[in-house]
Chains A and B, each alone.
Chain A
Amino acid sequence: MLEAQGIWHGFGSTEVLRDVSVKVRPGEMVALCGPNGAGKSTLLAVMAGDYAPQQGLVHIDGQSVTGLPPDVLARRRAVLEQTPTLSAAFTVRELLALGIPRDVPPERANLLISETLRDVSLLDRADDNCLILSGGQRHRAHLARVLVQLAASDRACGYLMLDEPTASLDIAHQIATMRIARRAARLGEGVLVVLHDLNLAAAFADRVVLMHRGRVVADGTGTDVFTAARLSAIYETEIVVEEAMDGRPRIVPVYDPDTHPAQRA
């Protein structure tokens, strides 16, 4: 289990996280939602072991993340940054190889890379220079790099941490990315994903953690967490929650109060 307990953290005089506790179980996909500045990315960084929180503990399978050496940590969790970058003209295959530790034999590494590329539908671009891919494909290649890092690990399950993986993608790529993450959860990985799109969170996550001003204001299924009153309050704009055909909540912001059907009704 990946677990943050009573996390307090701040930069300078600004408190960013105030007594935050979050759990991610193996095989579970948890969405971290909330307005800008709620502290989602900072929480993700703390849970990834980027830095030690000022107060509180982060444990990964019972061990403190800040106590683990980076190479050991890398076998237990993989992180996709919000805007992954690459300064060298690597091929897609070479990019994925960056995720694989040195001690994995080359044949196994190649196999893992090919399988992962197939899973993300990039096998036909394997030997292309990353820099000639489209933005969406490049993002997916980085996602594959993160996936292969966990796949190469000898541990039964790991934790996948994605920071706004859909932010710069078109609708088709957003859905493709979320399906890939969902699939990882089905295969046993714990997935923690920061999402701005509340509908994607409601559609794909097992559990939603809603944050506001450094605190967790709700933690539960999408249906429990996403209520119109709560969302309208923390986003400070009017939001309507409907029930979609599949029974999941559908979150609709009110663009123009005068014309919105819910208002007129």
Chain B
Amino acid sequence: MSETSALPRHAAARFAGIPVFALLGAALLIVVFAELALGPVRLGPGDLLAVLLGEGEQGPSAILLQIRLPRAVLGLAVGFGLALSGCAMQGVLRNPLADPGLIGVTAGAAVGAVSVIVLGNYFVGDLPAPVRPYALPLGAFAGGLLVTAFVFSLSHLSGGTNVAMLILAGVAVNAIAGALIGAMVYISDDQQLRDLTFWSMGSIASGNWMQVSVTTMLALAAALGLLTMGRSLDLFQLGERAAFHAGIDIEREKWRIALMTAIAVGAVTAAAGPIGFIGLVAPHMARLIVGPAHRNVLPAAALIGGALILGADLAVRLAVPPTEPPIGLATSMIGGPFFLWLLMRRLKRGGF
């Protein structure tokens, strides 16, 4: 059922755990550095140094501190949040194709966020400025949690989820979410429509420091929580009943994981719009590198997710300056074919 071919008889990578993580960490650092150093505006090493020392001129300082740094920070939060959420969902559902985007959690979060943008005014008048940065993640969290709870309850009822059912449930959830968003778009006024357009195009550029810090705080808190779930996720691989026999409180663990993934996906989606496939690609690459044990897969997936997001952002920033295509374009371009490849491989092996 699972990846026999993906693992050598002796998974050498696992014995060299530390170098592998050092390498992944170094790779991430390089991408972060590239994100800060490269861009349509050319900044020399001198400029970078000057800014770091607090002596930069206004132009370079602003580009580095107001544009690139918040992007890098938000990108890391997005990468960590999505990768770990994907990893946790795949673990709980025992299903390597579970991705927050594919099974509709992102769409649920999107409905939540769009509701806040459009309906926020109906219920509470114009939101006061200090609340606004929290309202969007909160709405997205609520929407994401609803879908996560639904999907997890599917696995409860059937004692496990097969790929076809999960993907079909995702299709249904995505369709419902699409309809709700459509309804929201329909009743929105000009200003809200504009906010929606900004938001739905998905970008980690739409961050001022206030928004970036709220998102990062939430996503990192959830990420830290998810990082401690390694043993539970390993045990879930035995099936829910056997996992209970081995000593974990299944319902409680599922709720904790659902909450944390919803917080992570909600925060990230509220800030950066719907970004697909990172939650699918990063854990898979992590498993190929460090083997299946979640105490290794989780941190590796986080590092890879961060690097992938920043890499994708770098690509869209440098592709056609001075314009900037949506980041979702880049992630889907990598993620879509990857997903198809996974699907084909499972089909060939009769994985359904």
Contact = CB atoms under 8 A, between A and B. Distances in A.
Interface of A: 48, 50, 69-71, 73-75, 77-79, 81, 84-91, 94, 98-99, 101-102, 127-129, 131-132, 149
Interface in B298-331: none
B251 to A, nearest CB: 10
B6 A89 contact: yes
Contact of B239 (A85, A101, A102, A129): A85
Contact of B249 (A70, A75, A98): A70
Contacts, number: 83
B2 A94 contact: no
A129 B246 contact: no
Contacts of A85: 238-239, 242
B6 to A, nearest CB: 7
B233 to A, nearest CB: 9
Nearest to B231: A102
Contacts of A131: 1-2, 4
Contacts of B94: 87
Nearest to A100: B246
Nearest to A99: B246
Contacts of A69: 249
Interface stretch (B7-15, B50-58, B129-137): B7-15
Given A79-B242, A131-B1, 10 more contacts: A48-B245, A50-B241, A84-B239, A85-B242, A89-B3, A89-B7, A128-B9, A129-B7, A131-B4, A149-B247
Contacts of A86: 2, 237-238
Given A81-B241, A94-B293, A149 B7 contact: no
Contacts of B239: 81, 84-85, 87
A77 B242 CA distance: 12
B2 A89 contact: yes
5 contacts: A71-B249, A81-B239, A84-B242, A86-B237, A98-B234
A94 B233 CA distance: 13
Interface of B: 1-4, 6-7, 9-11, 94-95, 231, 234-235, 237-239, 241-242, 244-250, 291-293
The 7 closest A-B pairs by CB, nearest first: A74-B247, A88-B292, A87-B94, A79-B245, A88-B237, A71-B247, A87-B237
Contacts of A98: 234-235, 237-238, 246
A84 B237 CA distance: 10
A191 to B, nearest CB: 15
B30 to A, nearest CB: 30
B121 to A, nearest CB: 46
Contacts of A77: 245
B209 to A, nearest CB: 39
Nearest to A90: B292
Nearest to B96: A87
Contact of A78 (B1, B3, B245): B245
Contacts of B245: 48, 74, 77-79, 81
Given A91-B11, A129-B4, A131-B2, A101 B238 contact: no
Nearest to A79: B245
Contacts of B250: 70
B4 A84 contact: no
B282 to A, nearest CB: 17
A168 to B, nearest CB: 16
Contacts of B238: 84-86, 98
Contacts of A87: 1-2, 94-95, 237, 239
Contacts of B249: 69-71
A128 B291 CA distance: 13
B242 A132 contact: no
B247 A89 contact: no
Nearest to B250: A70
A85 B245 CA distance: 13
A232 to B, nearest CB: 35
Given A129-B7, A132-B4, A90 B237 contact: yes
